[in-house]
Structure 1
Amino acid sequence: MADVSRFIAAGVRARSAYHVVAGEPAIKLDAMESPYRLPMELRDRWLHALRDLALNRYPSPEQYERVKARLARDAGLAPHIGVVLGNGSDEILQNILLALASNVTVVAPTPTFVMYEQIAAILGRRFVGIPLKEDFALDVPALQDALARHAPALLFLAYPNNPTGTLYPMDAVRALLDVDDAAVVIDEAYYPFAQASLMGAVEDRPRLLVVRTLSKQGLAGLRFGWLAADRAWTDELEKVRLPYNVGVVTATSVEFALDYADVFADQAARIRAERGRLYEALRAQVTVWPSEANFLLFRPPVPADAGRIHARLKDAGILIKNLAAAGGALAGCLRVTVGTPAENEAFLAALARAL
């Protein structure tokens, strides 16, 4: 194999590629996807909406503007707030970091969504993680101290947090929004399950950027995310966004999905109800943390058994996420996505056997 290391940036060489488990288990509960497919009665309507698309043409600016206007209207955004579209919210996070000066520092409470640090490292931005408290609560004084000491350009806050499911108290978040100089990115990927949002705060906070995605509410295969912020931000981010980054199939599907938002809201409500039931069932067997997302973080009675339990579940055709290798606060932890009632029952039975 050729040695290409001298051509590759140090931040890239030092990282591993994001690993996605191959194969399709009988029950897939590892990636925070919705367990519900598009309802059968909507599939023909969706296919009809796609039927006459001109796949030989690039997406049109008019369609992009139509999608942005619809998102802004549905979110109740003021005219001075802009919207940027992304090929998944990961691309938007990447574009934010791309747009920053090369010598900046970014901060986030940890453990959190791995892509904040991954993208920052690859792009050569300095990442500083500030540990959460033992119960995964936000350590506001430690974060305020870090913001003062490191003078970062950006603070990432997953709201609620991944992989813990924690929804930080609004007063704690607002205290961080008031810190001078640093911009704050609120990642609301799990908004449908938390039903708490900082979206309305972008109107009078020019350093606040709010990111959302359609992935968690049943459209992960589309790869679509969006950002809302003051137009001073979105005008700059549009320079970084690659042309035609959202394809016509995705853009048309997003317009279709927005017309049926009530269907996806109903699915989210069912997942929230199952989350509560699953949490109570897990409490009898393991240490489990409350969650406002569509997953639950838990630790078996013997933390060292996490790898064995993960393997036994996989052998039983049930895939969950093994976070034990992350170490630190996540040592011995596993994470399960909330599935359908039948999937959750199968998981609980297999977990009991594995324990």
Structure 2
Amino acid sequence: MTDRLQQALARIRPDVRAAHAYVVQPSTGVVKLDIMENPFRLPPELQRALGERLGAVAINRYPAERTAELAAALKAHAGVPAHCGITLGNGSDELISLLTLAIAQPGATVLSPLPSFVIYEMCAGQQRLNFVGVPLRADDFELDEAAMLAAIEQHQPALVYLSYPNNPTGNLWDAAVIERIVAAAPGLVVLDEAYQPFASRDSLDLMARHPHVLVMRTMSKFGLAGVRIGYLLGAREVVDQIEKLRPPFNVSVLNAEAALFALDHAEVYAAQAAVLRAERERVFAALQALPGVRPWPSQGNMILARVADAGATFAALKARGVLIKNVSAAHPLLANCLRITIGTPDENTRLLAELPLCL
């Protein structure tokens, strides 16, 4: 390494140099059940229609009115009042970054149950904020209400994240407990509803009753992971503050048009979600029947399961052409746990045929 390169690297924050980038596993040629995507593509006739629509977009212009039209369409799709605030992100990840930036004052704290979505802590660290993780209950991954309330009282967090359903555990936490956490929180509470298309309930009523509650959703699980559209809903006075931090052209005209096209054909994606919910229950029942496997009920499009040796099972499945996620090192409560995304019926059948050979 040259002296000049060493000098340049020395200008980068030490905590950044010591950090690790978010890693996405290579997946060419395998059954891909590792990252909670909708596995279904559009029917050929809709693919052609989308191609024609995108071909007509004025890509020589910066995004403007069409992005505003997408925001209005997403509010209508969510069923929230017209006066509700909304801002768009390049996926939920960007919204989490903007929320963290918005509350980044000296001594500010971000709080979340753990295990949960890793980006909450990652963004807090990038802004050099305090991050407090409160362990879930070990047996059922429910919120530890007493511990959460005590942490809120002690740390007075500016921002509380509640992943709902939670990633990677897949469960919807007790609504009454969430209500009491919301009542105790002195700052913003964000209900991250990334998996809302697969869940039996949502948090919009909670948001309507509490002006400091925001609901974050994404079109990734809707079926547009490659399009990167996230959106944040809540009281306009609060959301407008986050909107100030949003890069003015963060959603491309092609992405906005693809999202509007998807909303025009929402019934197709709803049918796909119904298939995935049914497949989730089929896979869950099959996992329950396997000796040495403990799956937890899920309201997402994934299932968390504990096996005797997660590393060995993961490697054996990968060698047999099925890629899932080994989350056992992410948190002590996830020891020997695997996270399995629900795929197409054929992909799930392949998983269930290979898994018993890998335990």
TM-score over 0.5 for the pair: yes
Per the alignment, residue 101 of structure 2 pairs with 98
**1:292 partner amino acid:** Q
Give structure 1 stretches of 5+ with no counterpart.
Answer: none
Per the alignment, residue 261 of structure 1 pairs with 266
**2:294 partner amino acid:** T
Per the alignment, residue 298 of structure 1 pairs with 305
CA pair 102-13 structure 1, distance change in 2 beyond 3 A = farther
CA-to-aligned-CA distance 1:144-176 (integer Å, 9 cap, x gap): 110000011011000000000011121111111
Given the alignment of the two structures, is residue 148 of structure 1 paired with residue 169 of structure 2, yes or no?
Answer: no
Given the alignment of the two structures, is residue 109 of structure 1 paired with residue 113 of structure 2, yes or no?
Answer: yes
Per the alignment, residue 27 of structure 1 pairs with 31
CA pair 32-96 structure 1, distance change in 2 beyond 3 A = same
Given the alignment of the two structures, is residue 174 of structure 1 paired with residue 179 of structure 2, yes or no?
Answer: yes
2:222 corresponds, among 217, 223, 231, to 217
Per the alignment, residue 167 of structure 2 pairs with 162
The 8 Å contact of residues 112 and 162 in structure 1, kept in 2 or not, is answered as yes
Tell me which moved more, 150-159 or 175-184.
Answer: 175-184
**1:346 partner amino acid:** R
The 8 Å contact of residues 229 and 255 in structure 2, kept in 1 or not, is answered as yes
CA-to-aligned-CA distance 1:266-286 (integer Å, 9 cap, x gap): 110100000001001001221
Tell me which moved more, 33-42 or 185-194.
Answer: 33-42
Query: 1: CA distance between counterparts of 2:52 and 2:219?
Result: 21
1:353 corresponds, among 346, 354, 357, to 357
Listed as ranges, the matches of 1:212-291 within 5 Å are 212-285=217-290, 286-291=293-298
Given the alignment of the two structures, is residue 36 of structure 1 paired with residue 40 of structure 2, yes or no?
Answer: yes
How far residue 123 of structure 1 moved from its aligned partner, in angstroms, is: 1.4
How far residue 235 of structure 1 moved from its aligned partner, in angstroms, is: 1.5
**1:212 partner amino acid:** R
Identity %: 46
The 8 Å contact of residues 25 and 319 in structure 1, kept in 2 or not, is answered as no
Query: 1: CA distance between counterparts of 2:32 and 2:149?
Result: 39
Given the alignment of the two structures, is residue 126 of structure 1 paired with residue 130 of structure 2, yes or no?
Answer: yes
How far residue 102 of structure 1 moved from its aligned partner, in angstroms, is: 2.8
Per the alignment, residue 208 of structure 2 pairs with 203
Give structure 2 stretches of 5+ with no counterpart.
Answer: none
Give secondary structure in 2 for the equivalent of 1:240: coil
Per the alignment, residue 184 of structure 1 pairs with 189
**1:75 partner amino acid:** A
Query: 2: CA distance between counterparts of 1:245 and 1:92?
Result: 11
**2:356 partner amino acid:** A
The 8 Å contact of residues 28 and 319 in structure 1, kept in 2 or not, is answered as yes
Give secondary structure in 2 for the equivalent of 1:256: helix
The 8 Å contact of residues 156 and 185 in structure 2, kept in 1 or not, is answered as no
The 8 Å contact of residues 198 and 210 in structure 1, kept in 2 or not, is answered as yes
Query: 2: CA distance between counterparts of 1:353 and 1:56?
Result: 54
* Structure 1 outlier segments of 4+, above 6 Å: none
Query: 2: CA distance between counterparts of 1:295 and 1:17?
Result: 23
Query: 2: CA distance between counterparts of 1:227 and 1:7?
Result: 34
The 8 Å contact of residues 38 and 218 in structure 1, kept in 2 or not, is answered as no
**1:117 partner amino acid:** E
Query: 2: CA distance between counterparts of 1:11 and 1:185?
Result: 26
**1:82 partner amino acid:** G
Count of residues in correspondence between the two structures: 351
Query: 1: CA distance between counterparts of 2:358 and 2:153?
Result: 47
How far residue 15 of structure 1 moved from its aligned partner, in angstroms, is: 2.0
Per the alignment, residue 72 of structure 1 pairs with 75
Tell me which moved more, 235-244 or 82-91.
Answer: 235-244
Listed as ranges, the matches of 1:318-333 within 5 Å are 318-333=322-337
Give secondary structure in 2 for the equivalent of 1:325: coil
Per the alignment, residue 315 of structure 1 pairs with 319
1:55 corresponds, among 33, 55, 59, to 59
**2:251 partner amino acid:** V
Give secondary structure in 1 for the equivalent of 2:100: helix
CA-to-aligned-CA distance 1:279-305 (integer Å, 9 cap, x gap): 0100122111110000001111x2xx2
